[in-house]
Amino acid sequence: MQLTLNNGVTMPALGLGVFQSAPEETAAAVAAALEVGYRHIDTAAAYGNERQVGEGIHRSGIDRDDIFIETKVWVTDYGYDRTLHAFEKATGKLGVSTLDLLILHQPVPTRFDTTIGAYKGLETLLADGKVRAIGISNFMPTHLERLFGETGVVPAVNQVELHPYFAQPGVQKADAEHGILTQAWSPIGGITFYPGWGDQRRSVMEDPTIAEIASGYAKTPAQVMLRWHLQEGRSAIPKSVNAARIAENFDVFDFELSPEELARIDALDTGVRSGPDPDKPRDELFSREIPEA
Could you give the residue numbers annotated as active site?
Answer: 47
Burial (Cβ within 10 Å: 0-12, 13-18, ≥19) of residue 71 = buried
Instruction: Classify residue 187 by its DSSP letter.
Output: T
71 DSSP β-pair partners: 102
Measured between alpha carbons, how far is 151 from 109 in angstroms, rounded to an integer?
16
Alpha carbon 236 to its chain centroid, in Å, reads: 7
Measured between alpha carbons, how far is 258 from 145 in angstroms, rounded to an integer?
35
- The per-type count for the chain, helices as H runs and strands as E runs, is 11, 10
Measured between alpha carbons, how far is 260 from 172 in angstroms, rounded to an integer?
20
Alpha-carbon separation of residue 25 from 16, 18, 122, 240 (angstroms)? 13, 10, 30, 10
Measured between alpha carbons, how far is 229 from 85 in angstroms, rounded to an integer?
34
Measured between alpha carbons, how far is 140 from 158 in angstroms, rounded to an integer?
9
Measured between alpha carbons, how far is 239 from 270 in angstroms, rounded to an integer?
23
Pairing of strands 16-17, 40-42: parallel
Tell me which amino acid residue 55 is. Answer: E
Supply angle C-alpha 259, 263, 269, rounded to 5: 155
> Distance between the two ends of the chain, CA-based, in angstroms?
34
